[in-house]
Structure 1
């Protein structure tokens, strides 16, 4: 039930992200800087240490001839796959033909549907206490909000018409698979590594604010505040 409440919050964020941003006292630049700071912190204080831990466990339990970098390789695959698909889709971004531009947007929506599905699957399949799920879910929820905002900027009409619901469906499907389908530790480790690479790529590409669209104090404060709280919680609660 706790996980179901969290996934419903994720769905609400994904569907109503632009209304949440527009109705907030923070302006859009501050929102993006806040999300970017927390996302960067999330990579360095959660994803990279977790990837290292998963690699150690993977080497002990998966194969007798396991090396020391298999999961890092799957992370590399995640970066390369999303970079390649993004570049292929972007070829059609600036086309004047409306059909081609719509095709580009559709490819993006399908890509991020899979992205949301895998992130949600990892979030809810991992062995986490509800406190961990809520705390780390804050970073993930802001990341979903940033993805939603980027999709809205690409094609606001089609995003509001169907795009946001497709992305929300990815979150729900990921939760359902994690909850009702048995999974092995090896599969979880591989999926976590792959989607970690994809998250790193998307955060660096989309969430690090550019010079003309950054609120530097918000970015710096959010990055170090989230990092500090995470390190304290790891130290005192052994997360």
Structure 2
């Protein structure tokens, strides 16, 4: 693939990822209970990508950065995995905030005033907008080069966005459909545009990949584990196994 095509590919893939949020709501059966097996397949594939491809890529990025930074390799490798933990904890905190603020912990039917509901919406959806912008940015700047690697990354992130879309749609309903989905779709495009316009140090890319890895794992797990989801373990395992096999073959 020539350089011109490769340089345009991130923009094409970013448009496809934006389309996930823009049009996912039309597949209404995905949000049913018991949970659609396709959402579980998508979650499994996204997690497989993190463990089989993204975390090894993070480790490789950490090792290459040592060539330009005067720090021990073991120290930098620890730092990138700590950042992955930070990503995990950050999105766990946001999920707990959304759950408690919405009164889902048996608060005696108390009502949430409109101002609190709007604040919860903007904090929660806004954090996912930043998250999506990071995904879009990494379409342009990634440690692993090549069109195939880029397509595999975009496919995994697209499946992950599908899972996130239905989680947020369940939280916020019409508000998400009217405003949130467009914010998340646009943030992917903004992140990719910023990627074309800026170049950052390899260390920053390693840390960004680490944070993303932690966020992906938490966001998939929190959608799959709650009992009320009635998730499909078989479908989740099939998605994880199939995508892991694909990543190991290519």
TM-score class, shorter: 0.7 to 0.9
Instruction: For structure 2, list consecutive stretches of 5 or more residues without a partner in the other structure.
Output: 1-7, 104-109
Which residue of 1 is the match for residue 89 of structure 2?
80
Any conservation in 2 of the 1:3–1:130 contact (CA below 8 Å)? no
* Greater alpha carbon shift after TM alignment, 63-72 vs 48-57: 63-72
Q: Which residue of 2 aligns with 1:217?
A: 234
Q: 1:121 to 1:209 in 2, by over 3 A?
A: farther
In the alignment, the residues of structure 2 paired with residue 21 and residue 229 of structure 1 have an alpha-carbon distance, to the nearest angstrom, of 29
How far has the Cα of 1:159 moved from its partner? 0.8
Partner Cα separation in structure 1 for residue 59 and residue 249 of structure 2: 19
1:104 positional shift: 1.6
Partner of 1:236: none
**Unmatched 5+ residue regions in structure 1?**
234-239
**CA distance change for structure 1 residues 148 and 59 in 2, over 3 Å: closer, same or farther?**
same
1:121-136 equivalences under 5 Å are 121-126=137-142, 127-136=144-153
> Which residue is equivalent to 1:170?
187
The 2-side partners of 1:187 and 1:212 are apart by: 36
**Cross-structure match for 2:135:** 119
For residues 151 and 85 of structure 1, the distance between their equivalents in structure 2, rounded to whole angstroms, comes to: 12
CA positional deviation for 1:200: 1.9
| Cα deviation 1:97-152 (Å, max 9, x = unaligned) | 24123322221111111111112212321153222211221111011111111111
Matched, 1:53 2:22: no
Residue deviations 1:2-50, cap 9 Å, x none?
Answer: 2221111111111111214549xxx951121111221221121112211
Q: Note closer, same or farther for the CA distance 1:21–1:181 as it changes in structure 2 (3 Å cut).
A: farther
Matches within 5 A, 1:128-207: 128-207=145-224
Correspondence for 2:22 among 8, 12, 15: 15
Q: Secondary structure at the match of 1:183?
A: coil
Aligned-partner Cα distance in 1 for 2:91–2:176: 20
Q: Is 2:56 the counterpart of 1:39?
A: no
Q: What count of residue pairs does the alignment treat as equivalent?
A: 230
**TM-score relative to the length of structure 1:** 0.86
CA distance in 2, matches of 1:19, 1:28: 16
**Residue aligned with 2:145, SS:** coil
CA distance in 2, matches of 1:8, 1:209: 32
